[in-house]
Amino acid sequence: MGEKKHGLRRVAGYLQIFYYAEFGKFIDFKNPKTFNEKLNWLKLYYRRPDLITLVDKYEVKKYIADNLTFDHIYDKFKKVFYDFD
C-alpha cells in the first residue's frame, strides 16, 4: 500500500511541475476548479478496471463483439437518424 501512495506522489509531483511551467501556479488537487485541474485530478485518482480493456484497441474489439449485438446497434442508429421526436 505504501508503494502505491509513493507512486501517486511521484506522478503528482510531475503533474505539478508541468502544470506550473505552463500556467504559473500549482494544481489544487483537493479542490480542483479549472478544467485543466480537473483533468489532472482524473489522471491521478480516477480508476476503473474496465478502462484497461477499453484503451487497448484489440481488447475493445473483443469487448464490443461480446457485449453488443447488431440489433442493439441498429436500434441506436435508428433512433439517432430516423426518430425526430
Residue 79 has a pLDDT of 77
C-alpha cell recorded at residue 18: 508541468
Model's pTM, two decimal places? 0.56
In the 8-state DSSP scheme, what is residue 61? H
Residue 15 has a pLDDT of 92
* 50-85 as b/e: b if 16+ CB within 10 A: eeeeeeeeeeeeeeeeeeeeeeeeeeeeeeeeeeee
Residue 36 has a pLDDT of 93
C-alpha cell recorded at residue 36: 485543466
Q: Compute the distance between CA of residue 85 and CA of residue 83 in angstroms, rounded to an integer.
A: 6
Residue 2 has a pLDDT of 54
Residue 84 has a pLDDT of 63
CA distances from 79 to 32, 64, 65, 71, 83 (A): 37, 20, 21, 12, 5
Residue count of the chain, please give it: 85
How confident is the prediction along the chain (85 residues), in pLDDT tens digits per residue?
555 666 778 888 999 999 999 999 999 999 999 999 999 999 888 888 888 888 888 998 888 888 878 787 788 777 777 766 5
